[in-house]
Amino acid sequence: MQYLIHATNLKKSFGGNRAVDGIDLSVAPGEIYGLVGADGAGKTTTLRLLVGALRLDEGQASVCGYDILRQTEQARAQTGYLSQRFSLYEDLTVLENIRFFAEVRGLTSKEWLPRCLEILDFVGLAEFRDRPAGQLSGGMKQKMGLASALVTRPRVLLLDEPTTGVDPVTRQDFWQLVIKLVSTPLRLPPNSENLGGEKEGGQVSVIITTPYMDEAARCHRVGFMKGGRIIAEGTPGELRATLTGRILELRGQPLNLLRHLAAGDEDVEDVQAFGDRLHLRLRQGSAGQVLKRLPQRIKSGGGTLSDLRQVPPVLEDVFIALTE
Amino acid sequence: MNSRLISIIRKEFIQILRDPRTLGIILVIPIVQLFLLGYSATSDVRNIPLAVFDQSQSPEARALLDAFRAADYFRIDYAVNSQEEIAVLIESGKARAGMIIPPDYANRIARGDAQVAFILDGSDPTSASTALSAAQLIGQAHATDILQEKIARSGMPFELKPPVEVRTRVWYNPDLVSAYFMIPGVIGMILFAITSILTATAIVRERERGTIEQLIVTPIRSWELVIGKITPYALLAFLDTLEVLAIGHWWFGIPIRSPLSLILALSGLLLLSGLGIGLFASTIANTQQEAMLTVWMTLLPAIFLSGFFFPLEAMPKILQVVSYIVPLRYYLVIIRSLLLKGVGVAAIQNEIIALALFGIFIMGAAALRFRKRLD
C-alpha cells in the first residue's frame, strides 16, 4: 500500500530537550490516525515537523511522496494543517479569511469563490460567510479553520487538537466532517496537477492529535506518545486487547474505603475512579485470585460491595497504563 | 503581478481599514507632532522679560531704555528700586534678565566711561546666549549713536565710521526661523518612526496571534510575506509625508524648492531603512510590546544623533562618529537641502549613497534573519 504520510526516525530537540525522539509513522489513504499522549509528549512538534514548520534534526519524512526537507513546498501543497492555537484574522469575515488562505495557497481568482462556497457549505458555515471571524463561537472557529485547511483539497490533513475546548455537540459535528472527508474519495479538480498525477483513489489521510480518549476510539489507528516516542500503536481494538482480562469494575460503599482496600491488594497495579465506579488494573493472570480475595477483604474492612466483575478495557485504561 | 503578494496586501489593507482607530492615529499623530514641534521646539528668542533698576532717572538712561525697547528681544516688564528686587524676580522666573543703571550714569556718559550692569538667567543656555548677544549688540549700537551725537555737537567735520564692517547675509532662511530647521526634521522623524514601528508590530502581530503558523505552511515565500505586509504601511508613511509637507508649506510657510518627485524618491530611500529596522526588530521580538520597545530603543538614540534637535557639530567627537551609522542623519541633510536650498542630487550625493547603503545593509541583515519557520 502507498502511504500518504511516511516518516522514519523523526528527531527534534529544543536546546537539550528531546521533544521528538525517533518517531516512525505511516498513514494510508482513507485512514484517520490518532496521536494521543499527555501534554508535552511531543504531539504538536511531530505535526509541525510533518508540515515543515520546524526543521528536522534527524530522520526523513514525506507527504504524498514529496520529501519534506527537499520538496517542502510541493509537500505543503498536498497538506492541510490546522494548528493547535489556530487563529484567524478576527477582523476579516469568514469568506475573506478563507479567500485569503485559498489565494495564498495558489487558487486563482476564478477558482477561489466556488471552492470557498463549496467548502463553507461542507462545514456548515455558508450562512455565516459575511460574519467577522471574531464574532464566531469557538466551535464555528474550528470549523472555519478546517474549511481554510481544506479549501485547496489537500490529500493530507494534519489536525492539532482541533476539538480542545469545544462543546460535545460541536465535537460530534466536527468528527462527522472528518469522517465524511476520509470516506468520500476526493473529487478531482479539472486540472489535477496538484494531486501529483494520481487520479485514482484520491482518498485523504488524516492525522489528528487529541487528549480525549473517546475521540481516539474513533480513529482507525492510534499511536500513544510519551517522552517524544510512540510507545504503543495499533487499532483501538488491538490496544484495548493488551489489557484484556486485567480490568475489574468495582461498585460499592463507601468509595474511599473501597479504593483504599483495593489499592492494598498485592495484585492490583492501579485504581482509577470512574464516577461511582472504580477500575482496577491487575497483574497479568491474577483476575481469578483477586475476584475471590477482594470481596472478603472489603467485608472484613467494613465496606459494602454491590458489584465486582471483569470488564472489557477502554482506551482510557490503556492510556493510563501506558502513561505510568 | 504575483497573486500571493496581492492577496497579502489586500488582506492587510482590509485589516487597516477595519481598524479606524489605528488608521486615525497613523494619520493624525504626524499633524500633532508637527504642530507641537513646529511651535515648541524653537530657539527663536523674543520678548525676554527684563527688570530694570534705574538709579539715574536721567534723559540719558531713558534713551538707553528706549534702545532696548526698540529691539523686540526684550520687554521691560519691571521697574524696580533695588538690586535685591531684581534677584527676587529672576529667582522666581518672572524676569529672565535684569539691568542696573548706576546713579552717575548721565555724568559718566558725559565723561565717556559709563557702565551698566546686565544680569542674565543662564539656566536656559539657548535663550541666554541669544539674550547675551542681543544685549551686547543693542549696547554697542547705542554707544555708537552717543558717540556720533557727541562728534556732531562738537562741530567737527568728521563722520564716525568703523574701519571694518562685517556685512552678514543669511541664505535659505534669512529670518532664521527655527521652524524651517525643525519641520524637515519632523518629516524625517515621522517617516522613520512610523515605518519602523508599524512594520515591526504588523509582522509580530501574526506571530502573537498564532496566524503565522498557518502562513508558514502556505507556499508564501518569506519576501512575499515581508513585502506584502509592509507595502500598505509604506504607502501610509508616504501619505504622512505628503500631509506633513503640505501643512509645513501652507501653515508654517516652509519653502519647497525641489521637485516633489525627487523629495518623495529620496524619502523612499529612508523608508528602506525604517522598514529594515522594523523587520529586524520583528525577528527579535515575540510580542507587539517587545517589538515596540525594541524599535524605540533604536529610535530614540537615532533621533538624538541625527542632528534633529541638537547640531551634530556641537557634539563630542565620539558621538559624531557614532552618528555616521544613523540613517536619519543623512536624510535630514537631504530633506533640509531639498526643501530649503533647492539643490540638485549632485550636492547631496554622499548622503544619498550613505542612506542607500544603510538601507540595503539593514534590509539584508533583517532578511537573512527572517525565516519562514517556527524555530
Do residue A76 and residue B220 have CB atoms under 8 angstroms apart? no
CA distances for A151 relative to A110, A118, A148, B67, B307, angstroms: 14, 9, 5, 84, 54
Asked if B20 reaches chain A (Cβ–Cβ under 8 Å), the answer is: no
Predicted confidence at residue B238, as pLDDT, reads 87
Question: How close B209 comes to chain A (CA, Å)?
Answer: 6
Residue A126 CA to residue B259 CA, distance in Å, equals: 53
Asked if B18 reaches chain A (Cβ–Cβ under 8 Å), the answer is: yes
Question: How close B292 comes to chain A (CA, Å)?
Answer: 21
The chain A residue lying nearest B371, using CA atoms, is A53
Average pLDDT of chain B?
A: 86
Mean pLDDT score, B144-151: 84
Asked if B215 reaches chain A (Cβ–Cβ under 8 Å), the answer is: yes
Report pLDDT digits (tens) over A181-217.
Answer: 888 765 544 444 444 444 445 789 999 999 888 899 9
Fold of the domain built from segment(s) A5-239: Rossmann fold (3.40.50)
* B8 contact residues in A (CB cutoff 8 A): 104
**Residue B48 contacts residue B131 (beta carbons within 8 Å):** yes
pTM of the full structure:
0.75
Predicted confidence at residue A195, as pLDDT, reads 43
Q: How many CB pairs under 8 A join A and B?
A: 74
* A73 contact residues in B (CB cutoff 8 A): 219
Predicted confidence at residue B373, as pLDDT, reads 66
pLDDT bracket for residue B112 (50, 70, 90)? confident
Asked if A109 reaches chain B (Cβ–Cβ under 8 Å), the answer is: yes
* A99 contact residues in B (CB cutoff 8 A): 7
What the block records as the C-alpha cell of B223 is 519576501
pLDDT bracket for residue B34 (50, 70, 90)? confident
pLDDT at residue B367 tops 60? yes
What the block records as the C-alpha cell of B295 is 524599535
* B14 contact residues in A (CB cutoff 8 A): 91-92, 96
In this structure, what is the dihedral angle of CA atoms B279, B282, B288, B290, given to the nearest 10 degrees?
A: -120
Fold of the domain built from segment(s) A243-323: Alpha-Beta Plaits (3.30.70)
Asked if B219 reaches chain A (Cβ–Cβ under 8 Å), the answer is: yes
**Residue A85 contacts residue A165 (beta carbons within 8 Å):** no
Cβ-based neighbours of B371, under 8 Å, separated by 6 or more: B222
The chain B residue lying nearest A73, using CA atoms, is B219
Predicted confidence at residue B176, as pLDDT, reads 64
In this structure, what is the dihedral angle of CA atoms A25, A29, A34, A39, given to the nearest 10 degrees?
A: 60
CATH 3.40.1710.10 fits B48-154, yes or no: yes
Residue B282 CA to residue B264 CA, distance in Å, equals: 26
Helices of type H across B210-221: 211-216
Predicted confidence at residue A193, as pLDDT, reads 46
Asked if A103 reaches chain B (Cβ–Cβ under 8 Å), the answer is: yes
**Residue B89 contacts residue B80 (beta carbons within 8 Å):** yes
Mean pLDDT score, B23-43: 82
Question: How close A82 comes to chain B (CA, Å)?
Answer: 7
**Residue A87 contacts residue B209 (beta carbons within 8 Å):** yes
Helices of type H across A228-286: 236-241, 255-263
Residue ranges, chain A, pLDDT below 50: 188-200
Helices of type H across chain A: 43-50, 72-77, 94-104, 112-123, 138-150, 168-183, 213-216, 236-241, 255-263, 287-301, 315-323
Do residue A85 and residue B3 have CB atoms under 8 angstroms apart? no
pLDDT > 70 in chain B, percent: 95
* B211 contact residues in A (CB cutoff 8 A): 87-89
* B223 contact residues in A (CB cutoff 8 A): none
Of B4, B19, B210, the CB nearest to A83: B210
- Tell me how long chain B is: 375
What the block records as the C-alpha cell of B75 is 520687554
Question: How close A285 comes to chain B (CA, Å)?
Answer: 48
Report pLDDT digits (tens) over B149-164.
Answer: 888 887 776 666 777 8
Predicted confidence at residue B375, as pLDDT, reads 64
Strand partners, A93: A132
Do residue A73 and residue B219 have CB atoms under 8 angstroms apart? yes
| Domain assignments of chain B as residue spans, ordered by start | 29-41+177-369, 48-154
Of B215, B217, B374, the CB nearest to A79: B217
pLDDT at residue B355 tops 90? yes
Mean pLDDT score, B257-265: 91
Predicted confidence at residue B150, as pLDDT, reads 82
CA distances for B46 relative to B75, B217, B254, angstroms: 9, 64, 20
- Amino acid symbol at A204: V
**Residue B306 contacts residue B191 (beta carbons within 8 Å):** no
Residue A169 CA to residue A157 CA, distance in Å, equals: 22
| Domain assignments of chain A as residue spans, ordered by start | 5-239, 243-323
Asked if B220 reaches chain A (Cβ–Cβ under 8 Å), the answer is: yes
- Tell me how long chain A is: 324
Q: Is B155 left (phi over 0), alpha (psi -120 to 50) or beta?
A: left
Do residue B14 and residue A96 have CB atoms under 8 angstroms apart? yes
Cβ-based neighbours of B345, under 8 Å, separated by 6 or more: B262, B352
Predicted confidence at residue A197, as pLDDT, reads 40
CA distances for A283 relative to A237, A317, A318, angstroms: 20, 14, 14
- Amino acid symbol at A47: L
Give the relative orientation of helices B222-250 and B20-40 as an angle to the nearest 10 degrees. 40
ipTM of this model? 0.77
Do residue B15 and residue A89 have CB atoms under 8 angstroms apart? yes
In this structure, what is the dihedral angle of CA atoms A234, A240, A242, A244, given to the nearest 10 degrees?
A: -160
